[in-house]
Amino acid sequence: MGLPLSGKIYHALVLIYYCSSYYYYCEHVYYPANKSDFRPQSYRYGGDTKFLTMWCWFFQIVYFFSCCVADVTEIVGVKSKMMHSLRDWVLSSVAFPIGLMVVGMFWILWSIDRELVYPKELDEIFPVWLNHVLHTNVLPILLMDMWLVRHKYPSRLLGITSLLFISALYMSWIFWLGYGVDIWVYPILRVLSGFKFALFIVVCAITPLPVYLLGELCINVFHGPNTMKEYRSKKAE
Protein backbone atom coordinates (compact mmCIF):
# COMPACT_ATOMS: atom_id res chain seq x y z
CA MET A 1 0.00 0.00 0.00
CA GLY A 2 1.33 3.43 -0.96
CA LEU A 3 2.06 6.24 1.40
CA PRO A 4 -1.06 8.30 2.31
CA LEU A 5 -1.36 11.73 0.70
CA SER A 6 -0.79 13.40 4.07
CA GLY A 7 2.68 11.85 4.26
CA LYS A 8 3.60 13.00 0.76
CA ILE A 9 2.45 16.55 1.48
CA TYR A 10 4.35 16.52 4.76
CA HIS A 11 7.58 15.48 3.05
CA ALA A 12 7.25 18.25 0.46
CA LEU A 13 6.53 20.90 3.08
CA VAL A 14 9.47 19.86 5.26
CA LEU A 15 11.84 19.85 2.28
CA ILE A 16 10.70 23.37 1.37
CA TYR A 17 11.11 24.39 5.02
CA TYR A 18 14.70 23.18 5.23
CA CYS A 19 15.74 24.44 1.80
CA SER A 20 14.25 27.90 2.35
CA SER A 21 15.91 28.09 5.78
CA TYR A 22 19.24 27.16 4.24
CA TYR A 23 18.76 29.78 1.53
CA TYR A 24 18.11 32.39 4.21
CA TYR A 25 21.24 31.29 6.05
CA CYS A 26 23.39 31.58 2.93
CA GLU A 27 21.99 34.95 1.89
CA HIS A 28 21.38 36.78 5.16
CA VAL A 29 23.57 35.31 7.91
CA TYR A 30 27.10 36.65 7.89
CA TYR A 31 29.79 37.73 10.30
CA PRO A 32 30.27 41.51 10.20
CA ALA A 33 33.73 43.05 10.32
CA ASN A 34 33.35 44.12 13.93
CA LYS A 35 32.93 40.45 14.86
CA SER A 36 36.28 39.37 13.45
CA ASP A 37 37.47 38.73 17.00
CA PHE A 38 34.68 36.21 17.41
CA ARG A 39 35.41 34.35 14.16
CA PRO A 40 38.90 35.30 12.94
CA GLN A 41 40.06 34.67 9.37
CA SER A 42 42.00 31.56 10.37
CA TYR A 43 38.86 30.06 11.90
CA ARG A 44 37.14 30.04 8.52
CA TYR A 45 39.23 27.07 7.46
CA GLY A 46 36.89 24.20 6.61
CA GLY A 47 33.83 26.44 6.48
CA ASP A 48 30.61 25.11 7.95
CA THR A 49 31.79 21.50 7.64
CA LYS A 50 33.33 21.90 11.10
CA PHE A 51 29.94 21.88 12.79
CA LEU A 52 27.88 18.75 13.45
CA THR A 53 24.81 20.98 13.27
CA MET A 54 25.57 21.69 9.62
CA TRP A 55 26.13 18.01 8.89
CA CYS A 56 22.76 17.36 10.48
CA TRP A 57 21.11 20.09 8.40
CA PHE A 58 22.55 18.58 5.22
CA PHE A 59 21.40 15.08 6.22
CA GLN A 60 17.85 16.32 6.90
CA ILE A 61 17.69 17.90 3.44
CA VAL A 62 19.04 14.72 1.84
CA TYR A 63 16.57 12.58 3.77
CA PHE A 64 13.46 14.57 2.92
CA PHE A 65 14.62 14.92 -0.68
CA SER A 66 14.85 11.11 -0.85
CA CYS A 67 11.36 10.94 0.67
CA CYS A 68 10.00 13.23 -2.04
CA VAL A 69 11.70 11.21 -4.79
CA ALA A 70 10.20 8.01 -3.36
CA ASP A 71 6.79 9.71 -3.17
CA VAL A 72 6.98 10.85 -6.80
CA THR A 73 7.81 7.31 -7.94
CA GLU A 74 4.63 6.14 -6.20
CA ILE A 75 2.54 8.91 -7.76
CA VAL A 76 3.69 8.06 -11.30
CA GLY A 77 3.07 4.37 -10.66
CA VAL A 78 6.68 3.21 -10.51
CA LYS A 79 7.39 0.95 -7.56
CA SER A 80 11.02 1.29 -6.53
CA LYS A 81 12.06 -0.87 -3.60
CA MET A 82 15.59 0.46 -3.92
CA MET A 83 14.42 4.07 -3.50
CA HIS A 84 12.33 3.20 -0.44
CA SER A 85 15.19 1.18 1.04
CA LEU A 86 17.57 4.10 0.49
CA ARG A 87 15.09 6.48 2.12
CA ASP A 88 14.73 4.25 5.17
CA TRP A 89 18.49 3.73 5.40
CA VAL A 90 19.12 7.49 5.43
CA LEU A 91 16.52 7.88 8.19
CA SER A 92 17.78 5.06 10.39
CA SER A 93 21.53 5.49 9.95
CA VAL A 94 21.91 9.23 9.54
CA ALA A 95 18.92 11.58 9.79
CA PHE A 96 17.33 10.37 13.03
CA PRO A 97 20.42 9.47 15.12
CA ILE A 98 22.43 12.54 14.09
CA GLY A 99 19.35 14.73 14.55
CA LEU A 100 18.70 13.36 18.03
CA MET A 101 22.33 13.77 19.07
CA VAL A 102 22.48 17.36 17.81
CA VAL A 103 19.29 18.39 19.60
CA GLY A 104 20.14 16.50 22.80
CA MET A 105 23.78 17.58 23.10
CA PHE A 106 23.05 21.19 22.18
CA TRP A 107 20.41 21.77 24.83
CA ILE A 108 22.21 19.77 27.51
CA LEU A 109 25.39 21.82 27.02
CA TRP A 110 23.33 25.01 26.75
CA SER A 111 21.79 24.28 30.15
CA ILE A 112 25.28 23.82 31.63
CA ASP A 113 27.01 26.76 29.94
CA ARG A 114 25.76 28.16 26.65
CA GLU A 115 29.20 29.60 25.87
CA LEU A 116 30.37 26.03 25.27
CA VAL A 117 28.15 25.63 22.19
CA TYR A 118 26.41 28.90 21.32
CA PRO A 119 28.18 32.06 22.50
CA LYS A 120 25.99 35.08 23.19
CA GLU A 121 27.58 36.92 20.26
CA LEU A 122 25.63 34.62 17.94
CA ASP A 123 22.36 36.17 19.14
CA GLU A 124 23.25 39.22 17.04
CA ILE A 125 23.94 37.08 13.96
CA PHE A 126 21.45 34.22 14.06
CA PRO A 127 17.72 34.94 14.38
CA VAL A 128 16.03 32.92 17.12
CA TRP A 129 13.86 31.02 14.66
CA LEU A 130 16.93 29.82 12.73
CA ASN A 131 18.50 28.54 15.93
CA HIS A 132 15.38 26.46 16.51
CA VAL A 133 15.46 25.20 12.92
CA LEU A 134 18.95 23.90 13.60
CA HIS A 135 18.73 22.75 17.21
CA THR A 136 15.10 22.16 18.19
CA ASN A 137 12.65 21.46 15.39
CA VAL A 138 14.73 18.68 13.85
CA LEU A 139 13.55 16.08 16.36
CA PRO A 140 9.76 16.70 16.36
CA ILE A 141 9.82 16.89 12.55
CA LEU A 142 11.47 13.47 12.36
CA LEU A 143 9.15 11.96 14.96
CA MET A 144 6.12 13.20 13.03
CA ASP A 145 7.51 11.63 9.87
CA MET A 146 8.12 8.33 11.65
CA TRP A 147 4.54 8.41 12.91
CA LEU A 148 3.07 9.17 9.48
CA VAL A 149 5.20 6.67 7.56
CA ARG A 150 5.76 3.01 8.39
CA HIS A 151 9.49 2.89 7.75
CA LYS A 152 11.42 -0.35 7.46
CA TYR A 153 14.78 -0.19 9.20
CA PRO A 154 17.69 -2.06 7.56
CA SER A 155 19.58 -4.77 9.41
CA ARG A 156 21.20 -3.59 12.61
CA LEU A 157 24.62 -4.51 11.25
CA LEU A 158 24.20 -2.22 8.25
CA GLY A 159 22.47 0.57 10.15
CA ILE A 160 24.80 0.74 13.15
CA THR A 161 27.94 0.25 11.04
CA SER A 162 26.89 3.14 8.79
CA LEU A 163 26.21 5.38 11.78
CA LEU A 164 29.52 4.50 13.44
CA PHE A 165 31.38 5.24 10.21
CA ILE A 166 29.81 8.68 9.87
CA SER A 167 30.42 9.42 13.56
CA ALA A 168 34.07 8.36 13.30
CA LEU A 169 34.48 10.46 10.15
CA TYR A 170 33.22 13.59 11.91
CA MET A 171 35.26 13.00 15.07
CA SER A 172 38.41 12.46 12.99
CA TRP A 173 37.72 15.72 11.16
CA ILE A 174 37.27 17.89 14.26
CA PHE A 175 40.27 16.37 16.05
CA TRP A 176 42.42 16.92 12.99
CA LEU A 177 41.26 20.54 12.97
CA GLY A 178 42.10 20.82 16.66
CA TYR A 179 45.51 19.18 16.73
CA GLY A 180 46.56 19.87 13.15
CA VAL A 181 45.29 23.40 12.55
CA ASP A 182 44.63 24.53 16.14
CA ILE A 183 40.98 25.21 15.41
CA TRP A 184 38.85 23.83 18.22
CA VAL A 185 35.31 23.79 16.92
CA TYR A 186 33.79 23.41 20.36
CA PRO A 187 35.49 25.23 23.27
CA ILE A 188 34.81 22.31 25.61
CA LEU A 189 37.25 20.14 23.63
CA ARG A 190 40.10 22.54 24.30
CA VAL A 191 39.78 22.23 28.08
CA LEU A 192 39.43 18.44 28.26
CA SER A 193 42.53 16.47 29.14
CA GLY A 194 43.59 13.18 30.66
CA PHE A 195 40.75 11.13 32.10
CA LYS A 196 38.06 13.60 31.00
CA PHE A 197 39.28 13.48 27.42
CA ALA A 198 39.37 9.66 27.44
CA LEU A 199 35.88 9.58 28.93
CA PHE A 200 34.66 11.93 26.20
CA ILE A 201 36.01 9.58 23.51
CA VAL A 202 34.35 6.56 25.15
CA VAL A 203 31.01 8.36 25.39
CA CYS A 204 31.23 9.41 21.74
CA ALA A 205 32.02 5.83 20.75
CA ILE A 206 29.09 4.19 22.57
CA THR A 207 26.41 6.88 22.17
CA PRO A 208 25.46 5.97 18.56
CA LEU A 209 24.28 2.48 19.62
CA PRO A 210 21.47 3.47 22.04
CA VAL A 211 20.53 6.36 19.75
CA TYR A 212 20.09 3.97 16.83
CA LEU A 213 18.07 1.54 18.94
CA LEU A 214 15.87 4.40 20.13
CA GLY A 215 14.92 4.99 16.51
CA GLU A 216 13.85 1.35 16.21
CA LEU A 217 11.86 1.73 19.42
CA CYS A 218 10.01 4.73 18.00
CA ILE A 219 9.01 2.71 14.93
CA ASN A 220 7.70 -0.07 17.16
CA VAL A 221 5.77 2.34 19.36
CA PHE A 222 4.18 4.12 16.40
CA HIS A 223 3.41 1.06 14.27
CA GLY A 224 3.37 -1.95 16.57
CA PRO A 225 6.07 -4.08 18.22
CA ASN A 226 6.17 -6.58 15.36
CA THR A 227 7.03 -4.08 12.61
CA MET A 228 10.75 -4.83 12.54
CA LYS A 229 10.30 -8.60 12.99
CA GLU A 230 7.81 -8.80 10.13
CA TYR A 231 10.10 -6.92 7.80
CA ARG A 232 13.18 -9.00 8.63
CA SER A 233 11.26 -12.27 8.33
CA LYS A 234 10.10 -11.25 4.84
CA LYS A 235 13.68 -10.48 3.83
CA ALA A 236 14.79 -13.89 5.07
CA GLU A 237 12.17 -15.72 3.00
DSSP of the chain, one letter per residue?
A: -PPPHHHHHHHHHHHHHHHHHHHHHHHH----GGGTTTS-GGGGTTGGGG-HHHHHHHHHHHHHHHHHHHHHHHHTT---HHHHHHHHHHIIIIIHHHHHHHHHHHHHHHHHHGGGTS-GGGGGTS-HHHHHHHHTTHHHHHHHHHHHS------HHHHHHHHHHHHHHHHHHHHHHHHHH---SSHHHHH--HHHHHHHHHHHHHTHHHHHHHHHHHHHHHH-TTHHHHHHHHHH-
In this prediction, residue 180 carries a pLDDT of 87
Identify the domain containing residue 41 by its residue range.
Answer: 5-236
Asked whether the predicted pLDDT for residue 77 surpasses 60, the reply is: yes
Total domains in the chain come to 1
Against a cut of 0.75, is the pTM above it? yes
Residue 40: band (very low, low, confident or very high) from pLDDT cuts 50, 70, 90: low
pLDDT in tens, 162-214: 999 999 999 999 889 988 888 888 777 777 777 888 888 888 888 889 999 99
Answer whether 189's CB lies under 8 Å from 178's CB: yes
Average pLDDT rounded to a whole number, residues 116-136: 88
Give the mean model confidence (pLDDT) for residues 58-62. 98
* Percent over 70 (pLDDT), the chain: 88
